[in-house]
Amino acid sequence: MKTIVIANAKGGVAKTTTALHLAVGFADRGLDTIAIDMDPQGTLSQQLGVQATGEPTVREVLVDGLSPRDAFVAVRPNLRLLPANILLADADLALSQLHASDLRLRRALQGTRADIVVIDVPPSIGKLTVNALVAADGFIAPIDSEIYAMMGLQLLFRTVETVREYFNPGLRFLGPLLTMAEGRTIVTRVVEEELRAQYPETFTTVIRKSQRTKEAAMSGQTLYDLAGATAGADYRALVREVLARLGDLGEATAAAAIAQECR
């Protein structure tokens, strides 16, 4: 099982949109996929059609020790969700009072069977983000096409280094991902040039800005479901590139993904 965190200390960078489309894209390729919503806003849960009202959520898993199996919701073929809602907002305080608070998610996921896990975290650095990074094999950092785009990534890396030192030395940076790109603008070109110069591992795939992203969210769909959505094609390309970087998923998993895509 490979676990990927989608993280950035800066908000508004298409973090949840990226987590959503990676999780759905992996599932569409036949991979047994788990999406974990660790943002108190619960946007990923809502976009997957789950309101998580009165049902077990990731908070009960982290704070109360509930098994993830008792909180998973099947939302699409090959895709289960560990949902979140606003009650997760006090998780930093609640977790700080627990023993080994930064290890709660990693321990909870032990024994969970899946091919790949995608975790969406809040646009901040706290116990939720740290738990996700401690449990992860790698992380992806969406970067929007704005002047101060890389500031959130720099803040995130301070926490990443601490996580590597104390908990998870093998945590991989899979790369930054340029999102909401407008190819004809000077700002996008400058940000992309700086990003690729500073981070050679930047994904080749660029997610173009699309008004259809809002349409998809409002209608409870994904960009894959909307004909002609350019960003949907971009995310399909990203799924392929991420799988290529996770080249050790295993022969059976890789074969299943290729077979599904060829159908």
Q: What is the pLDDT of residues 26-46, one digit of tens each?
A: 999 999 999 999 999 999 999
Residue 32 CB partners (closer than 8 Å, separation 6+): 78, 113, 114, 115, 116
60: pLDDT strictly greater than 90: yes
Higher pLDDT, 55 or 162: 162
- Start-to-end CA distance of the chain, whole Å, equals 24
Domain boundaries, the chain: 2-244
C-beta contacts of 207-210 below 8 A and 24+ residues apart: 207/14, 207/18, 207/142, 207/177, 207/178, 207/179, 207/180, 207/181, 207/231, 207/234, 207/235, 207/238, 208/180, 208/181, 208/182, 208/183, 208/234, 209/145, 209/180, 209/181, 209/182
CA distances from 115 to 29, 32, 53, 118, 224 (A): 11, 5, 28, 10, 21
Question: Which range (66-75, 167-176, 250-259) has the least confidence?
Answer: 250-259
Which position has the token pair 């047994």? 32
Higher pLDDT, 176 or 247: 176
Q: What is the pLDDT of residues 196-242, one digit of tens each?
A: 999 999 999 999 988 888 888 888 889 998 877 788 899 999 999 99
Q: What is the mean pLDDT of the chain?
A: 90
Would you state the torsion angle of the CA atoms of residues 181, 148, 35, 227, taken in this order, to the nearest 10 degrees? -20
Share of the chain above pLDDT 90, in %: 73
> Given pLDDT bands bounded at 50, 70 and 90, which one contains residue 252?
very low
- Per the CB < 8 A criterion, the answer to whether 153 and 194 are in contact is no
- Per the CB < 8 A criterion, the answer to whether 219 and 8 are in contact is no
| pLDDT score, position 230 | 83
> Given pLDDT bands bounded at 50, 70 and 90, which one contains residue 184?
confident
253: pLDDT strictly greater than 80: no
| pLDDT score, position 248 | 60
Q: What is the pLDDT of residues 108-151, one digit of tens each?
A: 999 999 999 999 999 988 999 999 999 999 999 999 988 777 88
| pLDDT score, position 24 | 97
| pLDDT score, position 217 | 83
Mean pLDDT of 4-30: 95
* CATH number, domain 2-244: 3.40.50.300
Mean pLDDT of 95-119: 96
| pLDDT score, position 249 | 52
Mean pLDDT of 240-253: 75
> Given pLDDT bands bounded at 50, 70 and 90, which one contains residue 47?
very high
Query: Is residue 61 exposed (0-12), middle (13-18) or buried (19+ Cβ within 10 Å)?
Result: buried
Looking only at the bridges linking them, the beta strands covering 73-76 and 79-82 are: antiparallel
97: pLDDT strictly greater than 90: yes
257: pLDDT strictly greater than 90: no
